[in-house]
Amino acid sequence: MSGIPCRYYDGRTSRRRDAVLALTARGGLVVAREGADERLNYENVRIPGRVADTPRFLHLPDGGVCEVQDNDALDGEQARIRRDPEPRADRFGRLRHRLDSTWQGAAAALAVTAAILYSFTEWGAPAVAAVAVAATPPEAEAVIGENFLTLLERLRVLKPSELEPNRRNELLAAFEEMRRETGVEDADLRFHSVGVPNAFALPGGTVVLTDLLVELAEDDEEVIAVLAHELGHVEGRHVMRRFAQTSSMLVLWTAFTGDVSVAALSFLGPDRLLAQRYSRSFETDADRFAFDYLLSAGIPPTRLSDIIQRLSGDDGEAGAGGNALNWLASHPGAAERARNATEAAKRAREGAAADE
């Protein structure tokens, strides 16, 4: 009998016997153990799909195992007796082997993976985040923001503000007016002292303004410009959306790498780049919101880019190479923001000219 050489184990002991197996036309299988003149007949033994060139173990109904190392011979025999229609599991097994044993298959898989990762990053995660944030009650968001603020105060990161009460009231009035004009509901302004000039928005609509920023500003217009930018973050619920986007990306990276620890590693690399990109698009949105308000209040949008430029110490174009660095930045470059501000001002002038 011609057949495929294999090793036969009876499943009760680890004794190995060399044997020959043959597939029958009815889908059965015959194992002839050499040495002991014995033939075993089986009906419908499932032959596992091929994985690269690793030995295939045929698990026999009586607990025995046939180990076949000659994969090509087994494939040939399987093809010879292939039934029509071919059982689904067998067809699937052959397809998988065709896919992952050739570079063409791997290239196709890589293309599919890249396309899915790209679309999820570009559209999926922001959409998921928008839905998740829309479903989060504002009260819950406010609690998160309040807890975070209390924590920062307790850790003495945020110290009480030393600004004059009068000065504070002026700015509060300006903020209140801005809030009413733009129709943003839950927003409030708090003053604190931190070692750096800064302003930031928290979940729930709290905007924190630091004393040093007020000092750094040449006049109130600049402070209002910064506050308008932060109100843009509040209006778009950017903090929560960013959190939701980053979380959903981590889930995707875990699926990609198949391992949470490796996903955590990629969290330092590729995923960071994506998070920064999201962050920049939020900054651009907030800038746009600020420009609109500033124009309506008769303040030149360039006042925002002026103070930002002074804040970052960035004095202009980084050249063509600046684009590569942009990938790494969480904020758009100061030069880019200045350009946007100038354009917004220009558009406003043109719009005004058209109205006349």
Binding region for another protein (CB under 8 A): 5, 7, 9-18, 20, 34-35, 48, 51-52, 54-55, 57, 59, 61-65, 67, 69-70, 96, 99-103, 105-106, 108-110, 112-113, 116-117, 140, 195-197, 212, 216, 253, 255-259, 262, 265-266, 268-270, 312-313
CB of 10 to another protein, least distance (A): 7
- Cα–Cα distance between 267 and 282 in angstroms, integer? 20
CB nearer another protein, residue 146 or residue 188? 146
CB nearer another protein, residue 254 or residue 281? 254
- Cα–Cα distance between 344 and 150 in angstroms, integer? 38
CB of 214 to another protein, least distance (A): 13
139 Cα distance to chain centroid: 26
List, in sequence order, the alpha helices (H) in 49-102: 71-80, 88-101
71 Cα distance to chain centroid: 41
The β-bridge partners of 41 are 30
- Cα–Cα distance between 356 and 343 in angstroms, integer? 20
- Cα–Cα distance between 206 and 141 in angstroms, integer? 11
The CA–CA distances, whole Å, from 230 to 139, 177, 274 equal 20, 15, 22
**CB 287, CB 327: distance < 8 Å:** no
Instruction: Please report where in the chains the tokens 């153990």 appear, as a residue.
Output: 33
Which residue type is seen at 20?
V
Q: Can you read off the two tokens belonging to residue 290? A: 């600020």
CB of 199 to another protein, least distance (A): 14
- Cα–Cα distance between 61 and 45 in angstroms, integer? 7
CB nearer another protein, residue 116 or residue 130? 116
CB nearer another protein, residue 3 or residue 188? 3
Phi, psi angle pair for 245, to nearest 5°: -65, -45
CB of 89 to another protein, least distance (A): 11
CB nearer another protein, residue 34 or residue 218? 34
Q: Exposed (0-12), middle (13-18) or buried (19+): which is 132, by Cβ within 10 Å? A: middle
CB nearer another protein, residue 74 or residue 295? 74
CB of 114 to another protein, least distance (A): 9
CB of 295 to another protein, least distance (A): 29
CB of 272 to another protein, least distance (A): 10
CB nearer another protein, residue 92 or residue 346? 92
